[in-house]
A and B are shown apart, each in its own frame.
Chain A
C-alpha cells in the first residue's frame, strides 16, 4: 500500500524530470547555430517538453523499482452485497457471457457466494445485437441457474454512454449494494481477487475506489503478444510507481475496479460539458474524472498493484489500437476543460495534465523533427574567426554530435527502465513466469526492437488524432474491436499509406535541407515508410515465443472460461437458448 501523501516521491520524480528536460534544452540552445534563432529556440523548447514526458515515464518506472512494499492493506469481512457490473455495447455476447459464467461459477465455490450479483448493462443499439444478447443471456441463466442473481437490462437510450450506463444502474438498484465491481466486456477476474477487494474496501471505510492491475490475456498476434508480454513484465513495476506517486489520489482506469456505491453515487454523476464535442458534451474519459471527483469529496482512490487475478484482453493489431487510442485521445484532450474545475485536488489537475501530455507529446516530437530538418537551411555561413586578433578557429557546433547525444538520451529514457525491470525480474525470481532468465531477456530485447519499430507509426496516428480533435472532429462512440486481429496487406496499406507518404516526404526534405541528418532520421522515417508492412506483419499470428505468467502458470479462472467457451462453441447464435426456457431456480 502506498504512502497516502507521497510528497517526497512526487518531488523526486518531478525534480528529476524537469532537470533532465532543462538539460536537453541547454544542450540544444547553448549550442545553437548562427542564423534561424527562432527555429533553434522552438526546437529547444520542443525537446524540453518531449524530454520531460519521457523522463516522467522513466521516473515512474524507477519509483516502481524502488525497494519496499509499503504497509499491508487493512481488511475486514464485508457486511453488504456487491454488484458485479458488466456494461456492454455491441459486444460478442457468447464471449462476454462465458466470462460471466466463469466468474459466477468460481464465486459459487466460495463461502461468500451469496454476496455477489451480476448485472449485464447493455447499451447495444442494433436489433440483431440485442437479439443475440437476449438469446445468450437466457442460455447463461439456464446454465448457471442464476435467475435473481445475474441480471440483464438493455437501455432504451445511450445517454452518458458507459458512465451513464453505470449511473442508470445505481439510480435503479444502487441502494441494494455496498460495493460495485466495474468490469469491461472483456474483463475477467478470479473469485479470490474479487473477494479480497471487498475485504480491502470493508477494511478501510474511507476507501471510495480500489483499482486492480489488469493483465492482458489471450493475445495471438505479434503485436498482441508483444503488448501482453510488455503488460505482464513492465506494468506491475510502472503501476507500483504510479501508486507511490499518487498515494490516496490514485487512478481509475474505468474497469476491473471496485467502488463503494454510496461514495460513487454521491460524487460521480457527471454533467455534460457546455458546448459541442469534442471538447464539450459528454465526458469521454469519465474514469479519470470520477477518480478526481471521489478525491474531491474526500474519498480515498487507491491502486493496489499486488491485486493480481485481474485480466482484460488487448487490441490484436496496430489499427485496433489506434482506433481505441483515438477515443482516449479525445477524452484526454477534453480534460483541458477540467483543469480549473472547482474544488479539485491539485494532484487531480496534474493527472489531467499528464493525460493531455501523453498525446500532445507526439506533436512535440514531430515538431522537433520538422524544425531539426529546417534549421540547417536557415544557417548563415560559419565564421571560423569571430574574434578579432584571435588566431585560432572557432568551430561551429557539431549537429551530428548533438543528434547522437539526443538519440542516446532518448534510448536511455525509453530502454533503460525496461532493461532494469527485466534484471529485477531475474533477481527476484519473477523470471520463472516468463520462461526463465534467458527467455525473459530475449523476449525483452525483441519487445524493445518491436516497440522501436512501431513507435514512429504510433507517433503519426497520435498526431493525427490530436489534430483531428483540435480541429473539432468528434470520434463518436465506436464499438470496441475485439477478437482475431489479422489484417490484410491491402487493408493495412489503405489505413496507413498517408504515413508512408509522410515518411518519404520527411526523408526527402532532410535529404534536400539537411543531408547530414538523413541517416539519423532513418530509424523514424524507415518504419513510417514501411508502415503498411509493419501493420500487416504484426497482425499475423505470433511465432515469437513470448512467455507470460498467465500462460506458464495459468490462473484457474482462465481454464474455467475456456471450458465454458468450448461448451458453448457448438451452439449457433441463432439458437443458443432453449425455445421454451426451462423453469429456473432462484
Chain B
C-alpha cells in the first residue's frame, strides 16, 4: 500500500518536472517599475527630508 502511494507520488512528481521542462517560458525579461497609488504621508516626507539633510548638517 505504502509502496503504491510512493510510486504514484513519484510518478506525479516526474510528470510535473517534465511539464516544467517542456513548458519553460522564453527568457526575455522586461522591467516593470512599481507604480505609486498612494500619496506619501507628510510624516514620511519629513523623514526623507531629514535623512537628506542630516549628512550635510554633520559635514
Chain A residues close to B by CB (< 8 Å):
117, 119-120, 127, 130-131, 133-135, 137-138, 141, 147, 150-154, 167, 169-177, 261-262, 265-271, 273-274, 283, 289, 293, 337-338, 340-342, 577, 579, 581, 584
Is there contact, CB below 8 Å, between B30 and A175? yes
A341 contacts B25, C-beta separation under 8 Å:
no
The docked-state distance in angstroms from the alpha carbon of A104 to that of B50 is 58
Number of interface residues of B (CB under 8 A): 25
Contact A120 B35 (CB under 8 A): no
Question: How close is A551's CB to chain B, nearest CB, in angstroms?
Answer: 34
The 3 closest A-B pairs by CB, nearest first: A152-B23, A174-B30, A176-B28
Inter-chain contact B30/A261, CB cutoff 8 Å: yes
B-side contacts of A342, CB under 8 Å: 36-37, 39
A120 touches B27 (CB 8 A): no
**With a CB–CB cut-off of 8 A, which chain A residues contact B28?**
172-177
Verify A172–B32 contact, CB threshold 8 A.
no
Indicate whether A175 sits within 8 Å of B29 (C-beta atoms), given known contacts A137-B19, A154-B20, A341-B38. Answer: yes
**Contacts of A134 on B, CB cut-off 8 Å?**
12, 15-16, 18-20
Query: How distant is the Cα of A120 from the Cα of B25 in the complex, in angstroms?
Result: 10
Interface of B is mostly: loop
In the complex, B24 has a CB within 8 A of chain A? yes
Q: In the bound complex, do residue B37 and residue A271 qualify as a contact, i.e. CB atoms below 8 Å apart? A: yes
Q: How many whole Å from B42's CB to the nearest CB in chain A?
A: 14
Contact indicator A131/B16 (Cβ below 8 Å): yes
Q: How far is the CB of A275 from chain B (nearest CB, A)?
A: 10
Which residues of B have CB within 8 Å of A269? 32-35
A138 touches B22 (CB 8 A): yes
The contact of A119 among B22, B25, B35, by CB within 8 Å, is B25
> Is there a chain A Cβ closer than 8 Å to B55's Cβ?
no
Contact check, A172 vs B25: say whether CB atoms are below 8 A apart.
yes
Contact B12 A131 (CB under 8 A): yes
Chain B residue contacts of A340, Cβ below 8 A? 39
If A133-B19, A341-B39 are given as contacts, then 16 extra A-B residue pairs at C-beta distance below 8 Å, sorted by A number, are A131-B12, A134-B19, A135-B15, A151-B24, A152-B19, A152-B20, A173-B27, A174-B29, A174-B30, A175-B30, A177-B28, A265-B30, A267-B35, A269-B32, A271-B38, A342-B36
Residue pairs across A and B with Cβ atoms less than 8 A apart, 16 shown, are A138-B18, A151-B25, A151-B26, A153-B20, A154-B20, A167-B32, A171-B30, A174-B30, A175-B29, A175-B30, A265-B32, A266-B33, A269-B34, A341-B37, A579-B11, A581-B22
Q: How far is A117 from B24 in the complex, measured between Cα atoms in Å?
A: 12
Q: Is B31 engaged at the interface, CB distance under 8 Å to the other chain?
A: yes
Residue of B nearest to A280 (CB): B38
List chain A residues, Cβ under 8 A from B30.
170-171, 173-175, 261-262, 265
B residues in contact with A273, CB < 8 Å:
37-38
Which of A135, A265, A271 contacts B31 (CB under 8 A)? A265
Within 8 A of A (CB), among B1-58: 11-12, 15-16, 18-20, 22-39
Q: CB distance A170 to B32 under 8 Å?
A: yes
Docked complex Cα distance between A301 and B27 (Å)? 28
Contact A337 B29 (CB under 8 A): no
Q: How far is A141 from B15 in the complex, measured between Cα atoms in Å? A: 13
Query: CA–CA, A151 to B36, complex, Å?
Result: 32
Contact call A338/B23, Cβ cutoff below 8 A? no
Partner pick for B37 among A138, A338, A579, A584, CB 8 A cutoff: A338
Task: Take A147-B22, A153-B20 as given contacts and tell me if A274 and B38 are in contact as well, using a CB distance cutoff of 8 Å.
Answer: yes
Closest to B15 in A: A134
CA distance A212 to B28 in the complex (A): 27
Beta-carbon contact of B29 and A268 below 8 Å: no
Given A137, A172, A271, which contacts B35 in the complex, CB threshold below 8 Å?
A271
